[in-house]
Copies of this chain bind each other. A is one copy, B any other.
Amino acid sequence: MGTLTGKMLIGSTATFGADGTVQGLDPSTGEHLAPDYGLASAADLERACALAAAAFDTYRETSLEARATFLETCADEILAIGDDLIVRAMAESGLPRARLEGERGRTVGQLKLFASVVREGSWLEARLDPALPDRAPLPRSDLRQRHIALGPVAVFGASNFPLAFSVAGGDTASALAAGCPVVVKAHNAHPGTSELVGVAIQKAVAKCGLPEGVFSMLYGAGTKIGSALVADPRIKAVGFTGSRGGGTALMQVATARAEPIPVYAEMSSINPVYLMPEALNARAEALGKAFVGSLTMGAGQFCTNPGLLLAIDSPALDTFVTAAVDALKASAASVMLTPGIGKAYADGVAALVGHDKVTTLARGLPAEGPNRCEAAWFTTDADAFLADEALQAEVFGASSMLIRCKDQAQLIALSEHLEGQLTATLHMDQGDIALAKALLPVLERKAGRILANGWPTGVEVCHAMVHGGPYPATSDARSTSVGTLAIKRFLRPVCYQDLFAELLPESLANGNPLAIWRRTDGVLGKD
C-alpha cells in the first residue's frame, strides 16, 4: 500500500488538502489506517469546479467512440490496480474478499456496459422533422433535436458499496457516459480505496487525451465541502447514495441555489416483502430460512434489504416465523461499515426493542468485537404500524419487521399506507395470482422494482433494471441509479431550427453518418 499519498485529485494534479485531515479506519478493530487524508478547502473546490466547467464543452462533444474508449480505459485502469484495491477496501469496509472482488467486477462491468450504450447512440434521442416549405398556411422550418449533457456533476461516494457506488460507481459511470465532467466527494469511510480508484480514472483521462477537468476528487465533510460542491454554480446535477438525512440536506441546498439543479439521491427504503398465502402453505420453512439469509447478508447494509414483511395470519405464517427465528438466532454478528453506522443501527434497534407496540421475535448471536451488527427481527400488528410513521423508518442494517394482517383488505390498506420504496417483493404461487393482481397497482405506485419469488438484495446491472422509486426511496422517481437508463439523468434536449449544415452536430447530420437510431417525422429508423 506504498502508493497511497493522502492527496486529493484536482484535474491532473494531486494535492494534500490543508483543511484538516481524516483517516481510514478498520471497522473490525477500530484501528486507524494510514495515511492521513488532507481535506479540501474552498480554494480547492474552486479549482476543481473551474476545471470541470472548462472541460465541459470539449468533453461533451467527444465522439461516441472516444467516450466509450475512455469508459473502457477507466475499467482497465481499475483492474490494473490489482489486489491492492481489494486489500485496502477490505481493511476500510470490513467487507469480505469475495464480496469486494464481485463488486469490482460489477464496477468494471458497468463502465463497459455504459461504453456500449454510448456507442449505440440511442441515448442522443435524435429527432428530425424536415422542413415543409410548401405547407399551408405556414411553412415548417427544419427542426432537429438531440440530447446534450447537463454540465459538471457532483457525485457522492456511498459507504456501503466502496467500489460500485463510489468514486467510479454507477453515478460516475452514467454521468461520464452522458458527457458530464465529474467532481467526486469521496466518502470518508474509504479514503484509501477512493484514492486508488480516483488515480485510475485520472490516468484514464490522461491516456485518452481528455481535458484534465473531466474528473476531480475531493476529501471533506459532507456538511461542509459536500454542501459547497452542490451549491457551486458550475455544478449542474448531483448523484448521491446514502441516508435520508444526507439526501434531503443536499436537496435543500440544490433548490436554494440561484439556479436550482436536479438531485438524484437514493436514500431510504424498507423494501416490503409479501408472504402470500399459497406460497406460505407450500414452503414456509424454506422461506423463513431464505429471508434470514437475505436479511443478514453483508450485515444488512443494502438499500434493498428486506426491512418489512407483510402477511395474513395463518398457521403457515407461524411455521415461517419459527423457521426464521431459529435461523436468525444462529446468525453471527458481522462487522458494520463504520462506527457511525454501527451506532445508528444499535440506536434504531434499541428504539424498536423499547417500543410498546413492538415485540422482538429474535436477535442474532452476540457480537465478538467492536462495531458488529447483531441481527434483529420484530413484529407489530397492522393497526400499530398504521398509527406510527416511525415504524416505517429504515434501520440501516440487519433489522426487519413483520406485520401480521387479519385479511386481504387489511394487507392492501396497509400497502397504500407505505412510503415510496426501491422494491416490493411477492412470494407467491399460482393460487395467489388474484391477490397479486389486486396488490400490483398499489405496488407500481409505491416502488421502482417489483419482483416475484426472489429477494430484493442483489441488483442486476442491465438495461431493464430500475433502482429507484418514489420519495423517500429517492429524490426523483423518474430515473434509476443502476442500469443503462441512468444515462438519461444527465441529459437535456436541445432543438436546432434551420441551422446551417456546418453547425449541426454529427448525430443530426443529413444521411445519418453515425448510423444511429433516429426519429424522422416521428418514425424510428436508421436512414
A residues in contact (CB < 8 Å) with B: 56-57, 61, 102, 116-117, 120, 122, 125, 127-129, 137-138, 140-141, 143-145, 148, 150-151, 251, 255, 259-260, 262, 420, 428, 430, 433, 436-437, 440-441, 444-445, 447-454, 458, 460, 462-466, 468, 470-472, 475-480, 484-485, 491-500, 502-503, 517, 519, 521-522, 524
Contacts and interface: CB of A to CB of B under 8 A. Distances in A.
Nearest to A256: B255
Contact of A499 (B148, B450, B493): B450
A383 to B, nearest CB: 22
Contact of A454 (B251, B495, B497): B497
B428 A460 contact: no
A453 B131 CA distance: 14
A256 to B, nearest CB: 9
Nearest to A496: B450
Contacts of A260: 251, 471, 475
A466 B495 contact: yes
A412 B122 CA distance: 32
A156 to B, nearest CB: 19
Given A260-B471, A440-B503, A452-B498, A141 B463 contact: no
A433 to B, nearest CB: 5
Given A420-B259, A522-B463, A445 B151 contact: yes
Top 7 nearest A-B pairs by Cβ distance?
A: A451-B497, A466-B495, A145-B464, A143-B464, A127-B464, A57-B441, A449-B495
A460 B140 contact: yes
B441 A503 contact: no
Given A128-B464, A450-B499, A466-B493, 14 more contacts: A57-B441, A116-B522, A127-B463, A127-B485, A129-B460, A129-B465, A145-B463, A151-B445, A448-B494, A450-B494, A450-B495, A451-B496, A470-B492, A524-B524
Contacts of A521: 463
A150 B471 contact: no
A499 B460 contact: no
A471 B125 CA distance: 22
Contact of A493 (B125, B437, B479, B491): B479
Contacts of A497: 449-452, 454
6 contacts: A145-B465, A145-B485, A436-B503, A450-B496, A451-B499, A470-B492
A262 B478 contact: yes
B503 A493 contact: no
A232 to B, nearest CB: 15
A95 to B, nearest CB: 17
A496 to B, nearest CB: 6
A444 B148 contact: yes
A462 B428 contact: no
A438 to B, nearest CB: 11
A5 to B, nearest CB: 35
Nearest to A488: B478
A493 B471 contact: no
A513 B112 CA distance: 32
B484 A468 contact: no
